[in-house]
Structures are given as structure tokens and as C-alpha cells.
Amino acid sequence: DRLMFPILDLQSRVVGFGGRTLGDDPAKYINSPETPIYHKSNFLYGLSQTKQAVKASGHLILVEGYMDVVGLHQAGIKPVAAVLGTALTIPQIKLAERFSQKVFLCFDADDAGRKAARRAADVVPILKWNSVSFASRMRRTPMNLLKSLVQPPLIWPWKTRCPYYDF
């Protein structure tokens, strides 16, 4: 049993799917294969739905997973999208830059998330992005961090920001 997430292009056309297990399957995620129209390194999950919120707020929060995007949207934090996998790619950076020059990285606090944040720091154009990894520093996933908050969520991203190199 899997929960399926449609992956949309910027015109809201379905180009692929991501599936997350609902049980104990060792393959936690199964995604669409690469096709002529779908290369996961070229897309950000949820950006087609949130691009107006990104433009209005002036920033984009990048998280690792589908559930982070859904949960943060439910909590009222709208300018959120997810990388498709744990590696932030140059095409994803260029895509994000089309909508905002202020991008916050909020990867999970596990080893994979911290490693992804360090790799992202190597490819982020420092002068264009104001990037952060507050979940990694606080040893929590974005969703666990959100659940622990007692302050309004709209303040949350700026309370624990750090320079891109301070993971």
C-alpha cells in the first residue's frame, strides 16, 4: 500500500508520480522512472501549486519530502516545495530562482538530510540565495519541528536561521 503524489510541471500537468509506503516496506519511496518529459532533477514538488505564494512572500522554503510540503501547507506555511530525492540539483536551483532569490533549506535532521544540506551548500550560488538549515541544526524533521512550536508558524523560518555554511 502506497500513498501516491502526482508530480506536476509549472503548468500543473502531471509528469510523474511519487509513492510513499504506508507500511513497513523497506522501499520507503518508489518514484516514476525517468522519461522524455520527466527528469526528477528538473522539478520541485509542489512548486506549481505554491508559486504565487512564493512570489507574494518573497521566499521559498525547500524541504526534502512530499509529506513535509503537505504538512507545512496544512499548517499555513505556503511557500514550500520539495526536492525530489535528497540531492538539490543545479536545474532545481535555477527553477527556484525564477520565483525567489531568498531560499531557505529545511532538510531533515537525519544523516541523509545533513549530508544533503552540506552538498547543497556546495552548489548554492551564495550571493543570490539566503539559505538556511534550521531543522538539521535542531535535530528534527520539519514536521516534528512544526508540531513542537508554540509560536505562530509564519515566524518560524527566521527564528533559527544560520548561514549556509553553518550546518
- For position 144, what pLDDT does the model report? 62
pLDDT in tens, 89-122: 889 988 998 998 788 788 777 777 778 777 777 7
- For position 140, what pLDDT does the model report? 57
Q: CA-based Rg of the chain, rounded to a whole angstrom?
A: 15
Nearest to 61 by CA among 96, 85, 29, 86: 96
d(CA 135, CA 113): 9
Nearest to 48 by CA among 17, 7, 84: 7
d(CA 6, CA 66): 10
- For position 156, what pLDDT does the model report? 44
- For position 104, what pLDDT does the model report? 79
- For position 42, what pLDDT does the model report? 95
- For position 143, what pLDDT does the model report? 62
Instruction: State the 10-residue block means of pLDDT for the chain, 167 residues long.
Output: 94 95 87 94 96 90 88 87 85 89 78 77 61 50 57 44 44
Nearest to 18 by CA among 6, 35, 33: 6
